[in-house]
Amino acid sequence: MHRDNLLPLLLKTEITMSNYTPLSEVGEFGLIKLIKEKVDLQHESSVLGIGDDAAIIEPHEKQIVVSTDMLLEGVHFDLTFCPLKHLGYKAIAVNVSDIAAMNATPTQVTVSIALGARYTVEAVEELYEGIRLACENYKVDLIGGDTTSSRAGLVISVTAIGEVPKGEAVRRSGAQVNDLICVTGDLGAAYLGLQVLEREKQAFMANPEMQPELEEKQYIIGRQLRPEARMDVIHDLKERDIKPTAMIDVSDGLASELFHICKQSGVGATIYKDNLPADEQMLETALEFNLDPITCIMNGGEDYELLFTVPLADYDKVKNHPDISIIGKITEASEGINLANKHGQAFPLQAQGWAHF
């Protein structure tokens, strides 16, 4: 498995934020200096990083891809069970995932943070340690950002930049009738990881003496707290000489992403229920919570796997990849978007995704 085992220390973040050095002691410039000291530029294309009005990139005849995501405390994360280090890692990973979904290589990121008054220098260092780790893993340079204060919770805004040779970018709009629909890894685990964390938080609040029982849920909790972008698969596809016809990352849930591909490509799709990739721990936990595993897989979200389509002729190239499942096929738009069972019965899919508002 490409993911680390990890056991988050529930409520560790709360402890980190008391005592220690207040931000007012170092000020904004001190904070920027502290961040800058931990940054090494690796890419030849990173000409100038943190410390001027803007960073400079030299693209060397490649196309540039740009993606941006904003994460807010209380909306996208809960610091009572999300350690700051994991949060920093996740903020980078989810943006790199968007770059991967363009079939591009991530090269640079900018990170802006707004911090409440209760934050300490140590808390910010922990956050940036996660950011640094992710930058190292995905080989991206932190080239700039903004640091400011927040009257409410923590806000993190990341812009990721990548490069791709001209003609190699993969959009959502290229899926063709009879293409195979593929997905990486397994789905639904991040959503169920969140359910477990929410449950343990409630239990802890009812009885602070309680020790959270997370040992058996390591995998699904890790999927929620520290997802990985599937750059490994992007490299594998290149090695196998596969260029997807359409691609998107699974952030809002498989159904929602499939609707994007079908709408933008002007096609329909049939997904085979039995081919959907599921982890054992996810399945057990779904039962524990009385949730339908297929709903968790289709609409759970935050898996950050890649959903892509390839020509039927590439079947032999993808079929034996240990981390790719062939889950369906692209059809005429008139056939709609359906979920089929092993008896050949098909039911129209609903895209739920996240309702932000």
Return the residues of window 314-353 that contact a copy of itself according to CB under 8 A: 353
Q: Tell me the β-bridge partners of 324.
A: 184
Query: Smaller CB distance to a copy of itself: residue 65 or 233?
Result: 65
Query: Smaller CB distance to a copy of itself: residue 256 or 281?
Result: 256
Instruction: Decide if residue 99 touches a copy of itself (CB under 8 A).
Output: yes
Q: Give the x-and-dash track for 71-90 against a copy of itself (CB under 8 A).
A: -xxxxx--------------
Binding to a copy of itself (CB under 8 A) within 11-70 occurs at: 22-24, 27-29, 31, 47-48, 51-59, 61, 63-70
Residue 271 beta carbon to a copy of itself: minimum distance, rounded to whole angstroms = 20
Query: Smaller CB distance to a copy of itself: residue 147 or 178?
Result: 147
Beta pairing, strands 268-272 & 337-340: parallel
CA–CA distance, 274 with 179 (Å, rounded to integer) = 18
CA–CA distance, 165 with 57 (Å, rounded to integer) = 16
Q: Residues with Cβ < 8 Å from 314, sequence gap 6 or more?
A: 180, 242
Residue 194 beta carbon to a copy of itself: minimum distance, rounded to whole angstroms = 17
* 229 three-class SS: coil
- The amino acid sitting at 298 is M
Of 13, 110, 195, 299, the one binding a copy of itself by CB under 8 A: 110
Binding to a copy of itself (CB under 8 A) within 137-196 occurs at: 143-153, 155, 157, 159-162, 164, 166, 169, 171-173
CA–CA distance, 288 with 295 (Å, rounded to integer) = 14
Residue 57 beta carbon to a copy of itself: minimum distance, rounded to whole angstroms = 4
Stretch near a copy of itself under the rule CB under 8 A, chosen from 36-44, 207-215, 244-252, 283-291: 244-252
Query: Smaller CB distance to a copy of itself: residue 115 or 196?
Result: 115
What tokens were used for 230?
Answer: 């599937």
Q: Tell me the β-bridge partners of 308.
A: 182, 247
Residue 141 beta carbon to a copy of itself: minimum distance, rounded to whole angstroms = 11
Residue 105 beta carbon to a copy of itself: minimum distance, rounded to whole angstroms = 12
Cβ atoms of residues 219 and 279 within 8 Å? yes
Q: Give the x-and-dash track for 252-271 against a copy of itself (CB under 8 A).
A: ------------x-------
Q: What is the CA radius of gyration of the chain?
A: 21
Residue 221 beta carbon to a copy of itself: minimum distance, rounded to whole angstroms = 23
Query: Smaller CB distance to a copy of itself: residue 101 or 339?
Result: 101
Kind and range of the H or E run holding 234 = helix 231-239
Q: Residues with Cβ < 8 Å from 27, sequence gap 6 or more?
A: none
Residue 11 beta carbon to a copy of itself: minimum distance, rounded to whole angstroms = 20
How many of the chain's residues bind a copy of itself (CB under 8 A)? 76
Cβ atoms of residues 101 and 306 within 8 Å? yes
CA–CA distance, 318 with 310 (Å, rounded to integer) = 9
Query: Smaller CB distance to a copy of itself: residue 136 or 146?
Result: 146
Cβ atoms of residues 87 and 81 within 8 Å? no
CA–CA distance, 96 with 234 (Å, rounded to integer) = 12
* 44 three-class SS: coil
Query: Smaller CB distance to a copy of itself: residue 286 or 306?
Result: 306
Query: Smaller CB distance to a copy of itself: residue 24 or 345?
Result: 24
Residue 174 beta carbon to a copy of itself: minimum distance, rounded to whole angstroms = 11
Instruction: Decide if residue 242 touches a copy of itself (CB under 8 A).
Output: no
Question: What are the DSSP calls for 15-39, one per residue?
Answer: HHHSSS-BGGGTHHHHHHHHHHHT-
